[in-house]
Structure 1
Amino acid sequence: MKINNKKVVIVGAGAVGSTYAHNLVVDDLADEIAIINTNKSKASANSLDLLHALPYLNAAPKNIYAADYSDVSDADIVVVSANAPSATFGKNPGRLQLLENNVEMIRDITRKTMDAGFDGIFLVASNPVDVLAQVVAEVSGLPKHRVIGTGTLLETSRMRQIVAEKLQINPKSIHGYVLAEHGKSSFAAWSNVTVGAIPLTTWLKKYPNPEFPTFDKIDQEIREVGLDIFMQKGNTSYGIAASLARLTRAIFRNESVILPVSAYLTGEYGQSDLYTGSPAIIDRTGVRAVLELELSQEEQEKFKASTVLLKENFDSIKEKCTL
Structure 2
Amino acid sequence: MEKINDCSSCINFRKAAVIGCGFVGSASAFSLMQSGMFTEMVLIDANKERAEGEALDISHGIPFARPMKIYAGDYDDAADAGIIIITAGANQQPGETRLDLVKKNIKIFESIIPEISKRNFKGIMLIVANPVDILTHVAIKLSGLPENRVIGSGTVLDTARLKCEIGEHLNVDSRSVHAFIIGEHGDSEIAAWSCANVSGIPLNDFCEMRGHFDHKKATEKIASDVKNSAYEIISRKKATNYGIAMSVKRICEAIVRDEKSILPVSAMMHGEYGIKDIVLSMPSIVGKNGFETHVPIALNKEEIENLQKSAAILKGILKENNLL
Q: TM-score, normalised by structure 2?
A: 0.93
Q: Does 1:258 align with 2:266?
A: no
- Deviation of 1:314 after TM superposition, in Å, equals 1.4
Partner of 1:154: 157
* Structure 1 stretch displaced more, 140-149 or 1-10: 1-10
Residues 224 and 140 of structure 1: is their aligned pair in 2 closer, same or farther, counting only changes over 3 Å? Answer: same
How many positions carry a matched residue from both structures? 315
Which structure 1 residue ranges, 5 or more long, are not aligned? none
- Deviation of 1:117 after TM superposition, in Å, equals 2.3
Q: Does 1:298 align with 2:298?
A: no
- Deviation of 1:295 after TM superposition, in Å, equals 0.5
- Deviation of 1:160 after TM superposition, in Å, equals 0.2
Deviations 1:60-104 (A, max 9, x none): x111110111112211111110113xx54365x211010011101
Partner of 1:287: 291
Q: Does 1:134 align with 2:137?
A: yes
Residues 43 and 312 of structure 1: is their aligned pair in 2 closer, same or farther, counting only changes over 3 Å? Answer: same
Partner of 1:111: 114
Q: How does 1:164-243 map to 2 (within 5 A)?
A: 164-209=167-212, 213-243=217-247
Which structure 2 residue ranges, 5 or more long, are not aligned? 1-8
Q: Does 1:81 align with 2:84?
A: no
- Match of 1:217, SS state, is helix
Quick one: which amino acid aligns to residue 198 of structure 1? I
Quick one: which amino acid aligns to residue 54 of structure 1? I
CA distance in 2, matches of 1:190, 1:249: 27
Residues 3 and 249 of structure 1: is their aligned pair in 2 closer, same or farther, counting only changes over 3 Å? Answer: farther
- Deviation of 1:279 after TM superposition, in Å, equals 0.2
Identify which of 28, 32, 45 aligns with 1:20: 28
Deviations 1:232-258 (A, max 9, x none): 111100111111110001000000010
Q: How does 1:43-122 map to 2 (within 5 A)?
A: 43-57=51-65, 59=66, 61-84=67-90, 88-89=92-93, 91=95, 93-122=96-125
Contact 1:268 1:291 in 2 (8 A): no
Contact 1:80 1:125 in 2 (8 A): yes
CA distance in 1, matches of 2:232, 2:241: 13
- Match of 2:61, SS state, is helix
CA distance in 1, matches of 2:210, 2:141: 49
Quick one: which amino acid aligns to residue 62 of structure 2? L
- Match of 1:9, SS state, is strand
Q: TM-score, normalised by structure 1?
A: 0.93
- Deviation of 1:269 after TM superposition, in Å, equals 1.3
CA distance in 2, matches of 1:268, 1:129: 20
- Match of 1:30, SS state, is coil
- Deviation of 1:210 after TM superposition, in Å, equals 5.6
Deviations 1:148-194 (A, max 9, x none): 11111011000000000011100000001110000000011001110
- Match of 2:265, SS state, is strand
Q: Does 1:30 align with 2:38?
A: yes
